Amino acid sequence: METVKAAIRSYLSELLSIMEEEATFEIEGDSCDDLYVNLTGSLFSLPEERPVLTALQHLLRTHLRRVTGKDCEVILDVNGAVKRRRAELIRFALTAAESVRREHKRIRLNPMPRIDRRTIHITLANFPGVRTYSVGKGEQRRVVIEPEET
């Protein structure tokens, strides 16, 4: 695992130097399935916009695969925006699940990216009285939360 983290440190340090950005970063996670990298600082070249970060995540994953031979799931964040979004999604999912359980009515959520859908599915996996699944294709894919059949 230290080889993977060293490769991330090296790649991001070089990238930030090329971009002339002054930032620090923290790497969290103990396996290639669960790595979180948060860049901190005044990053004008790296806005907290998902398309830019998604592209950089892809480049970082490709670099890691090339250097280490491992497929690593890396979430790249700037100033904690992804982590805050995840916390909001978790709160929203729990509130929606309570509503589904109380009212016995299905809720179809708005379309969302894969990582957000995954957060909702994981959050509600053991929530009593509800089940989740995804429907739709591409950018229209969404989560459905419905009461479990008894």
- What pLDDT tens digit does each residue of the chain (150 aa) get? 888 999 999 999 998 888 787 888 999 998 888 899 998 887 655 555 667 778 888 999 999 999 989 899 899 888 888 899 999 999 999 999 999 999 999 999 999 998 899 999 999 999 999 999 999 999 999 999 999 985
Largest CA distance in the chain: 59
Alpha carbon distances (Å) from 140 to 51, 85, 133? 17, 20, 14
- Domains of the chain, earliest start first: 2-79 (3.30.300.20), 83-147 (3.30.1370.50)
β-bridge pairing 107-108 and 142-147: antiparallel
Work out the angle between the directed axes of helices 114-124 and 81-103 (0-180°, nearest 10). 50
What's the number of CA atoms in the CB half-sphere (13 Å) around residue 106? 11
Nearest to 147 by CA among 77, 76, 96, 86: 96
Can you name the residues that pair with 75 across neighbouring β-strands? 36
- pLDDT for the residue numbered 45: 57
Question: What is residue 120's predicted lDDT score, i.e. its pLDDT?
Answer: 97
